Amino acid sequence: MAIPLLLILLSSLGYCEGVSYLYDHVYNMVSTVDFAHTVPQARINTPVPVKLTLAITRVLKVDSENQELVADGVLSMRWSDFRLAWEPWVSTDVTTIVWPKADSFWTPDIVVVNGQGSQYDASPETSSVRFDRTGNVTWTRRLRMRVPCDVGTGNLINSDVTCVIRLASWAHDGTSVSLITAERGVNLTDYWADSRYDVTGAGVTKSSQEYDCCAAPFDVISFSVVVGNRAK
Ligand SMILES: *[C@@H]1O[C@H](CO)[C@@H](O)[C@H](O)[C@H]1NC(C)=O
Ligand SMILES: *[C@@H]1O[C@H](CO)[C@@H](O)[C@H](O)[C@H]1NC(C)=O
């Protein structure tokens, strides 16, 4: 008697075998109208933590005329979408799925809030997201940042300057999206060594910002970079 009961239980829970079932399941789920538009909050009033790591890959310009910094970077965003977890419902050896179109998913709307003219690379090759059996999602995007910075006067900078890049959700306050970062939140491993500029230091702080629109404050992550002229 126990075995049929177990089978009925497992099938009513949707337990299934196989890779094709898994992909069909993900496809059907992300194809529903609401999927990409709903913040994956497991509980109401519990925000989804989004972890940000910024790699600075190149400083293009420290501009004294416009008092701004222009730099390229790679922003890595990690969060959990419980709806995407397939363990333990599907039994397969697959541990990670790369999905080619991020816009089928809910993704955080992280922007450079102090940088007008900052832009993500929108090429289709860079729009894929990666997620694992527990529903942890990673989305990595190339980003050109253009932020105001007190560069001083003169054609070339004579001493190091510190510029701050502030990232926040555009529309979600801290009640639905919270931002976190690694202690070493700025990654300089891939900094382009031939660049005219040196990045001699970096740091990260978290704060919150209130706006007239909204009752709750927004989380803001401020990445600071210390830039010097290589030829000085
Ligand atoms: C998913 O993310 C959570 C929270 O960061 C972490 O504790 C967990 O180990 C991650 N799961 C996997 C399989 O990496
Ligand atoms: C920094 O980036 C490199 C390559 O992109 C990566 O291997 C390394 O793990 C990153 N370090 C941190 C602390 O994220």
Per-residue pLDDT of the chain (232 residues; tens, 9 = 90+): 344 444 444 444 455 677 888 888 888 888 887 899 999 998 888 999 999 999 999 999 998 889 999 999 999 999 999 999 988 778 778 899 999 888 889 999 999 999 888 999 988 888 899 999 999 999 999 999 999 999 887 655 568 899 999 999 999 999 999 999 987 778 999 998 878 898 988 999 999 999 888 889 999 999 999 998 887 5
Bond prior to 88 in cis (omega within 30° of 0): yes
How far apart are alpha carbons 213 and 100 in whole angstroms? 34
- The reported pLDDT for the residue numbered 7 is 42
| Number of the ligand closest to the Cα of 180 | 1
Residues 6+ apart with CB under 8 A from 227: 59, 62, 69, 157, 160, 161, 162, 163, 197, 198, 199, 200
Q: What is the largest CA-CA distance in the chain?
A: 86
State residue 155's pLDDT score: 56
User: Closest by alpha carbon to 202, among 218, 175, 181, 219?
Assistant: 181
Segment holding 3, helix H or strand E: helix 2-12
For ligand 1, atom 13, name the residue with the nearest CA. Answer: 134
Atom of ligand 2 nearest to the CA of 74: 5
**Res 185: pLDDT:** 75
Pocket (CB within 6 angstroms of ligand 2): 53, 55, 184, 187, 189-190
Domain ranges for the chain: 16-229
Q: In this structure, how many other beta carbons lie within 10 angstroms of the beta carbon of residue 79?
A: 24
**pLDDT confidence of residue 204:** 95
CATH architecture of 16-229: Distorted Sandwich (2.70)
Residue type, 159: S
pLDDT at residue 51, rounded to an integer: 96
Question: What is the model's pLDDT at position 5?
Answer: 45
Nearest ligand, measured from the Cα of 48: 1
Residue 8's pLDDT is 44
Q: In 3D, which of 105, 117, 45 has the Cα closest to residue 77?
A: 105
For the entire predicted model, the pTM comes to: 0.87
Running DSSP on this structure, what letter comes out for residue 115?
Answer: -
Ligand 1 binding pocket, CB closer than 6 Å: 80, 132, 134, 136
CA dist 129 to 40, 47, 51, 159, Å? Answer: 16, 21, 15, 40
Choose one of 52, 136, 138, 179 to mutate for the ligand 1 pocket test, by most ligand atoms within 8 angstroms of C-beta. Answer: 136
